């Protein structure tokens, strides 16, 4: 299987008067098509892992190689380029750009990738329709959409550029059960149809149950990495 991410000896230590080892010598590979959940109790390092993996936070030591780019050794601009071209994000609180409509939020991800206007409008529409956002909803700004609709737009934005890796931090935390299950079905479908690689940090058993691979963290260290479905 093709390795999308190679992580070696990743350690993150926070120093706030006293030292906290948020990640402790994590080494693992992530493969194309993985549908992977990161689980563990609060404070186990799930969010830190996603932040460091995405280059939003800087590790204390170790390396992260995403499709050949070692983001721990590159400049802030170069890491931004990696995020733009190879990563997609789904945040817990949706985090859409409030002055843009749903369509423009998705289009924005393609603008950053330099996609031509006609193509990006077509792609943005197609992906929004695929996640259940119709033409009327596409024109609305985030504050005129429900939480579930906003999260669907956020998913569409994350995947529209067909990134190598989609990172989702507690994606169902702010959704009711129906919306949460709908979102999971949609992501699973994208995982299968587009061979998209998903990594979730989650507490939500509904997410854990759908994952194909589960990594458990405790005190910043990987205590298990198991295949849980097919």
Partner 1 sequence: MAGGRLPLIRLAWRNIWRNKRRTILTVGAISLYSFLFLWYIWLSYGAQEGMLDNFARILTGHIQIHAKGFTDDMSVMKRISDPQPFISAINEEKHVIAYSARIKTYALAAANENSSGGFVLAVDPEREKTVSNLYLALSAGRYLSPDAHNEIVVGYVLAENLGVKVGDRVALMVQAADGSMGARRFTVVGLVDPGMVELNNSLILMHLGDAQALLSYGSAVNEITVIVDDLGNVDRVWQSLRGKIDTSKYEVLTWDEVSPELVQLNDLTWAKFILLMTIFALVAALGVMNTVLMSTMERVREFGIMMAMGVRPGQVTRLILTESFMISLLSVLIGFGAATALGFITQNQGISLKVFGAPDYLAQFGLGNAVLFTKVNWDGFIISLCVIMGMGFLASLYPAIRTGRLQPIKALKFQ
Q: By the criterion CB under 8 A, which residues form the site for partner 1? A: 51, 54, 56-57, 76-78, 80-85, 87, 89, 91, 95, 97-100, 108-115, 157
State CA 185 to chain mean position distance: 16
Calculate ∠ Cα 160-167-19, nearest 5°: 150
The order of strands in the sheet holding 3-15 is 19-31, 3-15, 61-66, 69-70
Please, which residues bridge with residue 65 across strands? Answer: 6, 70
Least Å distance, CB 187 to partner 1, is 18
Return the number of the residue (29 or 67) whose C-beta is nearest partner 1. Answer: 67
229: exposed, middle or buried (Cβ count in 10 Å: 0-12, 13-18, 19+): exposed
Q: How many residues are listed for the chain in this entry?
A: 230
Least Å distance, CB 51 to partner 1, is 5
Least Å distance, CB 178 to partner 1, is 26
Return the number of the residue (109 or 138) whose C-beta is nearest partner 1. Answer: 109
The contacts of residue 23 (CB under 8 Å, 6+ apart) are 10, 11, 12, 45, 48, 49, 52, 59, 220, 221
Return the number of the residue (83 or 214) whose C-beta is nearest partner 1. Answer: 83
Return the number of the residue (22 or 131) whose C-beta is nearest partner 1. Answer: 22
118: exposed, middle or buried (Cβ count in 10 Å: 0-12, 13-18, 19+): exposed
Return the number of the residue (111 or 192) whose C-beta is nearest partner 1. Answer: 111
Least Å distance, CB 149 to partner 1, is 18
Cβ–Cβ < 8 Å for 169, 137: no
Calculate ∠ Cα 4-42-93, nearest 5°: 70
Pairing of strands 35-39, 213-218: parallel
Least Å distance, CB 163 to partner 1, is 10
Return the number of the residue (197 or 216) whose C-beta is nearest partner 1. Answer: 197
Least Å distance, CB 90 to partner 1, is 11
């Amino acid at each position: 299987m093709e390795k999308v991410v190679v992580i070696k000896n990743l350690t993150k230590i926070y120093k706030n008067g006293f030292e906290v080892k948020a990640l402790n010598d994590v080494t693992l590979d992530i493969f194309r098509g993985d549908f992977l959940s990161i689980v563990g109790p609060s404070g186990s390092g799930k969010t830190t892992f996603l932040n460091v993996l995405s280059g939003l936070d800087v590790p204390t030591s170790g390396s992260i190689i995403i499709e050949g780019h070692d983001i721990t050794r590159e400049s802030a601009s170069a890491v931004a380029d990696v995020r733009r071209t190879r990563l997609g994000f789904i945040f817990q609180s949706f985090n859409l750009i409030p002055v843009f409509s749903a369509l423009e939020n998705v289009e924005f991800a393609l603008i950053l990738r330099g996609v031509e206007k006609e193509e990006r409008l077509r792609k943005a529409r197609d992906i929004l329709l695929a996640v259940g956002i119709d033409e009327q909803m596409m024109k609305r700004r985030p504050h005129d959409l429900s939480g579930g609709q906003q999260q669907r737009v956020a998913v569409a934005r994350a995947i529209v550029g067909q990134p190598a890796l989609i990172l989702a931090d507690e994606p169902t935390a702010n959704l009711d059960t129906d919306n949460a299950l709908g979102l999971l079905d949609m992501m699973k479908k994208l995982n299968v149809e587009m061979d998209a690689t998903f990594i979730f940090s989650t507490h939500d058993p509904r997410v854990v149950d759908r994952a194909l691979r589960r990594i458990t963290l405790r005190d910043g260290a990987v205590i298990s990495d198991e295949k849980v479905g097919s």
